Amino acid sequence: MIKAHLVYREFEFLRPATTSRGTFHRKKVYYIILYHTDDPSLAGIGECSLFPGLSYDDNKGFEARLKKTIDRINEGDFGSDAELIEWPSIGFALETAWKDIRAMGTKVLYPSGFTEGKDAIRINGLIWMGTREEVTRQIRQKIEDGFTCLKMKIGALDFDEELEILGSLRKECPADELEIRVDANGAFKPKMALEMIKMLSEYDLHSIEQPIPPGHTEAMAALCETSPIPIALDEELIGKHSAVERRKLLDNIKPQYIILKPGLLGGLAPSAEWIRLARERNTGWWITSTLETNIGLNAIAQWTYTLQNPMRQGLSTGNLYVSNIPSPIYLYGERLCFDPERNWDLSGLNEALLP
């Protein structure tokens, strides 16, 4: 018989994670653990990727709904729950926990050259917001580490300072040596966005992610049509649960790219549906994790590899924490790798801290 319980932990960031939404010092994480009562060692673990101020289900009812899901499983109801469409982080955790338990304790959800240690996933180097000195230091370190694609968070510093940083970086590293993506996290005002993007376009940028806040459909569509830099939608996708909503969004805005975060979109299956719709419209896409620990990152990375997208993926979150869950996943330069000879250490998840 399969039963379930919850584990709650907090993880401290190695350095404050700053975006235009604020600065985060710790990450609250809920894990759904499924296990066989006759052999508890055969467990499946799924991570709820709840991001404050961004997740669709970041509200007061989250923990109650999470406990209700656990109770339902413990009562023997393993059917699909239509209500989870409104709770994407729980949907992601449950989907990956079921895949994990079917893997019979191996944590290999999608066997491939990646999980065999024969191939890797090329990723972008993430540059967090901070002071000019902090941003410059991060950039230098990523380049020294061998990254050929950087994603730079913008919107926290004075805009002129950010332009100066990009200018200095581009002088040092031309576009054929370094791909630069910028992520505004919706920081630009719709009326000012096009002029700001035009100034950014002087630095041969690959794309700009979510320049204005989500929900300004007409303004975003106009930007996608006129912007000199390709635009990638991110937050705009959150909360679009039905196929009708997804098609409408892509057809109305016509973005050059969409960025898929399975933990915020309800799981791997909904993300795959977004990809199908994007391909039908010749819209580019890539996958990004959302500050998951190695449990969530493992599931996303293994699935991402099977998609064989040659673009750099946004999966560099495994080394963000002072103490992560030891796993076979590791970074080698700009490559996310999996060493099948390395063991998982799940001792920190053995005790259920939530009833």
Residues carrying an active site annotation = 153, 261
**How far from 202 is each of 151, 154, 227, 274, 326, CA to CA, in Å?**
17, 16, 12, 31, 42
Radius of gyration of the chain (CA): 20
In contact, 258 and 309? CB cutoff 8 Å? no
Taking the CB of residue 30, how many other CB atoms lie within 10 A of it?
21
Residue 309 CA neighbour count, 13 Å, CB half:
21
Q: Give the DSSP H or E segment for 190.
A: helix 190-200
| CA dist., res. 147 & res. 68, Å (int) | 43
Q: Tell me the one-letter amino acid at 324.
A: N
Pairing of strands 149-153, 125-127: parallel
Q: Give the DSSP H or E segment for 351.
A: none
| CA dist., res. 261 & res. 97, Å (int) | 17
